[in-house]
A and B are shown apart, each in its own frame.
Chain A
Amino acid sequence: MKQISKKLKIILPILLVAATIITISLLLRGHNFQLLNPQGIIAHQERSTMFTAVLLMLTLAVPLLVATFVIAYKYRATNEQADYQPEWDHNLEWEFIRWGLPAAIVVLLGILTWNTSHAVDPYKKIDPGTKTLTIQVVALQWKWLFIYPGQNIATVNFVEFPQNTPVNFQLTADAPMSSFWIPQLGGQMYAMPGMVTQLNLMADSAGEYAGTAAEINGAGFAGMKFTAKSVSSDDFNSWLNSMQATSSELTLAGYNDLAKPSEYNPQAFFAPVEPNLYNEVIMKFMAPEAGQDADMPGMHM
């Protein structure tokens, strides 16, 4: 009887672990691990940073973890054969090893960190040889407005750009702070009222990628999603032409309407766009006229 229960004690955890692994793999079938499935040059580099760093750390963590349980088992009180030295509390070689090993890993991690921080610096222009597309982004309550200054069009919750062309996003907000994120193309950047930040991305291939707001910014936060579509440059040009032909104008009054809080906003398209709109959105937080409350969303400009 005792032996059976002893066997059970070994078999049961193994079965449990196996069941867990099977359940998890079933749960995960067909999922898009966006961070591990990059479609842009920046996201590629960010993923390889993650892999390298994790591998580096595992070289120390796995032996430590294994050692913990081996030592805990070997020196259990019931094992009277094991060495017992209750006064043994320092050792110079171990001193070097336990400071040296983690330090060595951290030096390597540090070099990796320094290099990759500069390699994927969001402000750094990608491949300065080719022509860069500039897109201005305004985070509103609770939708994303994209303005194409060179093409004089604007879109809401949808952004399209040619593949293999560097895109320079210039981000601001006319709302509480948001974080702009297209996981499969690259990491996030904050969009803050009265300030401009930059994010340079480039898609490798054509496709539609999920974009989202990543920083809590009020009631409509969960619905503040957009689609980022990367297409061939021919398709992009024809999209531009159709936009100019079919869309309505975005005036200042129209913008003020748009800036009013709304949740799960549908996509929208505008052409042409009030000139200098983006700068005015930024400047209204800089020097409000007397009597105006700069905090109020959807104020008049």
Chain B
Amino acid sequence: MQHFLIGNLTTDALPHQWFTLGGTCFILLMSVVVVLFLTYTKRWKWLWTEWLTSTDPKRIGIMYIIMASLMLFRGALDAVMIWLQQALSSGASYGYLDPSHFQQIFTAHGDIMIFFVTMGFLFGLLNFIVPLQIGTRDLAFPFLNSLGFWLYVAGAVFINLFFVIGGDFAATGWLALPPLSELAFNPGTGVDYWIWSLQISGLGTMLGGINFLVTIIKMRAPGMTLFRMPMFTWTALLSSSLVVAIFPILAATIALLWLDRFFGMHFFTAGFGGNMMMYVNLIWTWGHPEVYVLIIPGFGIYSEVVSTFSQKKLFGYYSMVAAAFGITGIAFVVWLHHFFTMGAGADVNAFFGIMTMIIGIPTAVQIFNWLLTMFRGRIIFKTPMFWFLGFISTFTFGGIAGLLLASPAADFQLHNTLFLVAHFHTMVIGGALFGIFAGITYWFPKVTGFRLNERLGKYAFWCWLVGFFTAFTPLYLLGLMGATRRLDHYDAGTGWQPLFITALIGICIIGIGALLQVLQIFVSFKQRKENRDLTGDPWNGRTLEWATSSPPPHYNFAVIPTVESRDAFWNMKQKGLTKPKNYQDITMSKNTGLGIYLSGFIFLLGFAFVWHILWLGILGFAGAIICVIIRAYDDDTEYVITASELRQLEEKETLH
């Protein structure tokens, strides 16, 4: 009976270690603060109707970015804990974490930073900017967009849920390679939490990818041919098509791992004919392109930023697009470089090594293009340009390290070392995250109607850059000394401790940078009157998102603009702007809470699988299906803004 009701749950699953107690208390405290705040300011209804149930991509975009920022602090806390352990745990000292706990932390750190921070920021920016850039009012599938966001939130809650129930997370590394992640070696619920967190948020990502692919292909403003699309939209398109291609692989792979764990099957087990290297191959056919999903939109952001602040057309648009296509395509045929040490023959290894190096060509072409865009420009050094130059400085080293790792002969030595760790942090922080920060600073006035404080932004940038080099240069050196990654302890005789301490100092500097960014947002909000932008075009922009007011009305454009060239808005300005007044009725999608309910039921299903609770699983599954049916039979999902209402809205806007 007890098993029927609560499955494998016992009182052991309640928080009792210091970190689960701490985590639970923190979660409770934050919930209480939020609840009190909302009740005190009477904002419950506002929150529900205006935000949570919204299908407006701009609102969903902002919610993505808020969620990703919260998760960034969780992931950064993990990073501090990892390096604190490594700074302490030398010789006779074994640090403050036991090995298994340490391993859970770096696993969570990796998964959170990839799935919930970088992907979250990315989808946030895509949601807000892409519809504006292509001159449309909504995504192709507004409900799917809301659902995708709420699945992402469910996944994020799931990855933190072990604090409250369960007490352990996967101690396997961020990809949970078997047989270590199989029941024989990880019998707890940690790996199950890992599986369902990724499965649920991955489903959301896949829906998002489909949505953007269709939106960009089908819903561009009249006249915007493919080769008139802004570079950021191009990269969004390529990144989304990568998502659609690879996320099914991830879903299938971890579903097989789950079958192993739940039903005792043997896809990847050590014995009974299971093959762990099958998993490693599959997970990396997803995992490598995934890195490009993160970084390609970053390239798009840099293209917009460099062109705008150089006050010049983007140089070599066609080769830029070709390069982005090249990177996207080759991304599929390089996965084996993550495990040259599997024992494949020299021919196979050399093939994958050379394919990887070929990616260096389009990447270098893009850098050339940005340089030539600045060349003969008039560069205004606002914060986004700082992030761009920071990106070039870090990415060059990261790229060299990457091509070095692509050579099997070198990789046999560098694989699984801190050199590798330093390399991919250079790419993800210097490439993707700096790009995201550049993008957020660049588009912030579009989102809020006021600019971010420049001075604090630059201080934050310098902290990030200096902190970055302080944190990761020691890791490159440690790798060359033969330090493997994921060490919870090392001999004093190695002499590595000062370098680990330096790395810890580095992340503290980065932490100051992140706090300055928070401060920047508060200060900018307080000074919003001085920083207000009433034109909708604070940077003298070139693309359509600057053609509408800041913040844009919920319908984006009262009249959908007609595009006659690349850099559409720039050319409109050259010809002299006129505000079109030929208003027509427009159809907008209604808000709906169904996405929240549906992802809630899927969350319950995942929870039931983790703890083997049959009735809850049936409830979750049936609830999810019923939600889908309700949505499918709901014909009342849109509303109309009539031309006269639109005229009133627009005239009110001009009066302001």
Query: A residues bordering B, Cβ < 8 Å?
Result: 24, 27-28, 30-36, 43, 45-47, 49-50, 53-54, 57-58, 60-61, 64-65, 67-69, 71-72, 75-77, 82-91, 94-95, 97-99, 101-103, 105-106, 109-110, 112-114, 116-124, 176-177, 179, 181, 183-184, 186-190, 192-194, 197-198, 210, 212-223, 225, 263, 284-286, 288, 293-297
Contacts and interface: CB of A to CB of B under 8 A. Distances in A.
Contacts of B371: 64, 67-68, 71
A49 to B, nearest CB: 4
Interface of B: 98-100, 103, 171-173, 177-180, 182-185, 269-272, 276-277, 310-319, 339, 341-343, 345-347, 349-350, 353-354, 357-358, 360-361, 363-365, 367-369, 371-381, 385, 389, 392-393, 396, 399-400, 403-404, 406-417, 473, 477, 479-482, 484-491, 495, 498-499, 502
Contacts of A90: 315-318
B276 A177 contact: yes
A102 B364 contact: yes
Given A72-B374, A103-B361, A214 B184 contact: no
B364 A101 contact: yes
B312 A65 contact: no
B477 A177 contact: no
Nearest 9 interchain pairs by C-beta: A294-B271, A187-B412, A295-B184, A34-B482, A98-B368, A102-B364, A116-B409, A117-B350, A176-B180
The majority secondary structure among interface residues of chain A is: mixed
A198 B358 CA distance: 29
A98 B369 contact: yes
Contacts of B272: 288, 294
Contacts of B354: 109-110, 113-114
Contacts of B414: 35, 50
A45 B413 CA distance: 11
B409 A46 contact: yes
Given A27-B499, A94-B316, A222 B408 contact: no
Given A75-B377, A77-B380, A214-B415, A194 B270 contact: yes
Contacts of A98: 316, 319, 364-365, 368-369, 372
B343 A190 contact: yes
Given A65-B393, A101-B364, A110-B357, A76 B270 contact: no
Contact of B360 (A24, A45, A50, A106): A106
B368 A219 contact: no
Given A33-B480, A187-B411, A212-B482, A84 B377 contact: yes
B408 A116 contact: yes
A36 B341 CA distance: 20
A192 B413 contact: no
Contact of A53 (B100, B171, B404, B498): B404
A61 B341 contact: no
A50 B407 CA distance: 8
Contact of B484 (A119, A186, A212): A212
Contacts of B315: 88-90
Contacts of A84: 311-312, 376-378
Given A187-B411, A219-B100, A69 B389 contact: yes
B454 to A, nearest CB: 14
Contacts of A213: 484
Nearest to B484: A214
Contacts of B319: 95, 98-99
Contact of B173 (A67, A83, A88, A216): A216
B490 A222 contact: yes
B270 A99 contact: no
A114 B347 CA distance: 8
A50 B310 CA distance: 37
B487 A222 contact: yes
A57 B376 contact: no
A123 B345 contact: yes
B271 A288 contact: yes
A121 B346 contact: yes
B99 A221 contact: yes
Contacts of B499: 27
B490 to A, nearest CB: 7
B368 A117 contact: no
Contacts of B379: 72, 75-77
Nearest to A284: B271
A75 B368 CA distance: 16
A68 B403 contact: no
Given A53-B407, A122-B412, A198 B343 contact: yes
Given A27-B498, A72-B379, 17 more contacts: A28-B477, A53-B410, A71-B374, A77-B378, A84-B312, A87-B312, A88-B313, A88-B376, A89-B312, A94-B368, A109-B360, A116-B410, A117-B346, A117-B347, A189-B341, A190-B339, A223-B489
Given A98-B319, A112-B407, A118-B346, A32 B481 contact: yes
A27 B497 CA distance: 10
A239 B271 CA distance: 37
Contact of A49 (B364, B409, B485): B409
A97 B396 CA distance: 19
Contact of B357 (A95, A109, A223): A109
A188 B413 contact: yes
Contact of B177 (A95, A177, A294, A297): A177
Contacts of B277: 192
Contacts of B358: 106, 110
B480 A35 contact: yes
B179 A177 contact: yes
A64 B409 contact: no
Contacts of A112: 407
B412 A46 contact: yes
23 contacts: A34-B480, A49-B410, A50-B414, A54-B404, A68-B389, A84-B312, A88-B313, A90-B315, A90-B317, A94-B316, A94-B368, A99-B361, A102-B365, A113-B353, A176-B178, A188-B413, A190-B342, A193-B270, A194-B270, A212-B484, A216-B485, A294-B269, A297-B184
A89 B313 contact: yes
Contacts of A47: 413
B480 A58 contact: no
Contact of B488 (A58, A193, A221): A221
A143 to B, nearest CB: 15
A35 to B, nearest CB: 5
A103 B360 CA distance: 8
Given A86-B313, A120-B412, A176 B364 contact: no
A288 B408 CA distance: 35
B311 A117 contact: no
A64 B211 CA distance: 38
A228 to B, nearest CB: 12
Given A28-B477, A189-B341, A295-B184, A86 B311 contact: yes
B459 to A, nearest CB: 15
Contacts of A43: 413
B364 A60 contact: yes
Contacts of A65: 392-393, 396
A33 B399 CA distance: 22
Nearest to B502: A27
A94 B372 contact: yes
Contacts of A68: 367, 371, 374, 389, 392
A113 B364 contact: no
B375 A214 contact: no
A35 B364 contact: no
